[in-house]
């Protein structure tokens, strides 16, 4: 993979659908706004990004000081139709027409919901994404998925809609809490594990995270890996399932952790645990060499929260895994590795094998 060597200004990924800029926002957004006239600009934020990210954006791009600010409450529980109504109402009341621009400034919740609101408002207005969490920068910035949670099901209402552009500035990561950083890092490690062994070493060298970390190159690499996979399979028929590595067991643990009497995990934290468990299955079922298993585990241990599971939790976790939408014909499917960098989709595993994998995972915390 070729990476343009311009560490000062950052990188530009000219995807056929839209450009993704990685680096300082100022010049690029100003340039975008001057070259794309809009009848009005609206910035969608949540309480946290209004406090931490909006001042940075407005200081860098003074034209945005007059933009309408649409504020919503933070968190996945607000990624719903009710919040969309608030957003649509604000835009209607402030006379946003079909030439208005919506700027989504926030994590994946803001990006997904703002993108959905823009894609449907007056049959679609332009929107740009300024992701401010590491997870949204490396994961949600590619793939054009927008949507909300509905009927208790995550992302059950949505669409594929391309933003006009994505602007990624690692400056926003300075205020992001460490668990959120590590959660985003988990998806970066996943990208390396399924497609690029060298990136794994580079990510390893970033751990533990230092305040001066230069994120630009690694964010760029990570996006490129996801993009290559999404490009080959835009509607998630086959190859894109490689991105599910760690997610079969990870989602099961995530759902379990969100039960009222458990300690909630962030998505990336649960996926870290899921990857450790699925590495065990990779060795067992795809003959991942032991030395590679150890290398991968070494990196993941630096990201993993301590999360011991009791034996009586297993049946509940297994139920969540069995009900996952990724399963077909009654069997549980995982993406597994035969090598670091080589992923195989739709590997059927049994409940007994998952139990073994959970025991393996648990051995790190007992």
Structure tokens at 261: 């009497």
How many alpha carbons lie under 13 Å from residue 149 in its C-beta half-sphere? 12
Task: Look up 99 and say whether it is catalytic.
Answer: no
* Shortest distance, position 87 Cβ to ligand NAD, whole Å: 15
221 is catalytic: no
Active site residue 52: no
Q: Which of 244, 278, 283, 362 is catalytic?
A: 244
* Shortest Å, Cβ 310 to ligand NAD: 27
Annotation marks residue 145 as catalytic: yes
Strands (E), the chain: 11-14, 19-22, 40-46, 68-72, 100-106, 126-131, 145-150, 153-160, 165-168, 332-339, 342-349
The two three-digit tokens of residue 210, written as one number:
């230092």
Which of 37, 123, 237, 290 is labelled catalytic? Answer: 123
Tell me whether residue 216 or residue 285 sits nearer to ligand NAD (CB atom): 216
What is the DSSP-derived secondary structure letter of residue 305? P
Q: Choose the catalytic residue: 221, 226, 242, 285.
A: 226
**Choice among 28, 145, 216, 242 that is catalytic:** 145
Q: Which is nearer to ligand NAD, 160 or 364 (CB)?
A: 160
Does the annotation count 104 as an active-site position? Answer: no
Nearer to ligand NAD, 183 or 295 (CB): 183
Tell me the residue number closest to ligand NAD, measured at CB: 108
Residue 123 designated active-site = yes
CB atoms under 10 Å from CB of 256, counted, come to 21
Rounded to a whole number of angstroms, the minimum distance from the CB of residue 163 to ligand NAD is 11
Min dist. Cβ of residue 287 to ligand NAD (A): 30
> Considering the complex, what minimum distance in angstroms separates the CB of residue 154 from ligand NAD?
6
| Active-site annotation holds for 247 | yes
Phi, psi of 74 (to 5 degrees): -80, 155
Active site residue: 79, 190, 251, 285, which one?
251
Six-digit token string for 105: 């400034």
Mention every residue, 6+ apart, whose C-beta is less than 8 A from residue 237.
none
Q: Measured between alpha carbons, how far is residue 181 from residues 29, 160, 203, 208 in Å?
A: 25, 26, 13, 11
Residues near ligand NAD, by CB under 6 A:
46, 48-49, 52-53, 74-76, 79, 106-110, 112, 132-133, 135-136, 139-140, 143, 145, 155, 172, 175-176, 180
Contact of 207 with 299, CB cutoff 8 Å: yes
H or E element that contains 76? none
Closest CB to ligand NAD among residues 175, 339: 175
Q: Which residues are identified as catalytic?
A: 123, 145, 187, 226, 236, 240, 244, 247, 251, 267
């Amino acid at each position: 993979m070729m990476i343009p060597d311009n560490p000062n200004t950052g990188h530009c990924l000219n995807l056929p659908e839209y450009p993704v800029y990685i680096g300082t926002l100022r010049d690029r957004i100003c340039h975008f706004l001057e070259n794309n006239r809009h009848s009005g600009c609206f910035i969608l934020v949540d309480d946290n990004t209004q406090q931490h990210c909006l001042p940075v954006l407005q200081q860098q791009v003074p034209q945005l000081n007059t933009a309408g600010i649409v504020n919503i409450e933070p968190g996945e529980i607000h990624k719903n139709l009710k919040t969309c109504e608030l957003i649509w109402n604000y835009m209607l009341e402030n006379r946003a027409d079909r030439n208005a621009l919506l700027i989504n400034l926030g994590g994946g919740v803001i990006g997904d919901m703002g993108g959905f609101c823009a894609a449907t408002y007056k049959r679609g207005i332009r929107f740009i994404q300024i992701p401010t969490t590491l997870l949204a920068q490396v994961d949600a910035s590619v793939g054009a998925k927008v949507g909300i949670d509905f009927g208790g099901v995550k992302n059950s209402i949505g669409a594929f809609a391309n933003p006009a552009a994505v602007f990624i500035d690692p400056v926003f990561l300075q205020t992001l809490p460490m668990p959120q950083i590590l959660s985003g890092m988990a998806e970066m490690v996943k990208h390396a594990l399924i497609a690029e062994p060298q990136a794994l070493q580079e990510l390893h060298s970033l751990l533990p995270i230092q305040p001066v970390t230069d994120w630009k190159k690694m964010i760029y690499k990570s996006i490129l890996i996801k993009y290559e996979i999404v490009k080959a399979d835009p509607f998630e028929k086959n190859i894109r399932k490689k991105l599910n590595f760690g997610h079969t067991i990870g989602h099961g643990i995530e759902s379990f952790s969100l039960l009222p009497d458990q300690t909630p995990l962030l998505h990336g934290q649960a996926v870290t645990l899921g990857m450790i468990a699925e590495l065990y299955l990779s060795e067992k079922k795809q003959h991942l060499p032991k030395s590679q298993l150890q290398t991968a585990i070494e990196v993941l241990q630096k990201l993993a929260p301590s999360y011991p599971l009791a034996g009586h939790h297993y049946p509940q976790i297994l139920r969540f895994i069995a009900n996952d939408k990724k399963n077909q014909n009654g069997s549980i499917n995982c993406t597994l590795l035969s090598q670091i960098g080589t992923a195989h989709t739709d590997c059927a595993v049994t409940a007994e094998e998952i139990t073994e994998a959970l025991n393996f995972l648990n051995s790190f915390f007992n």
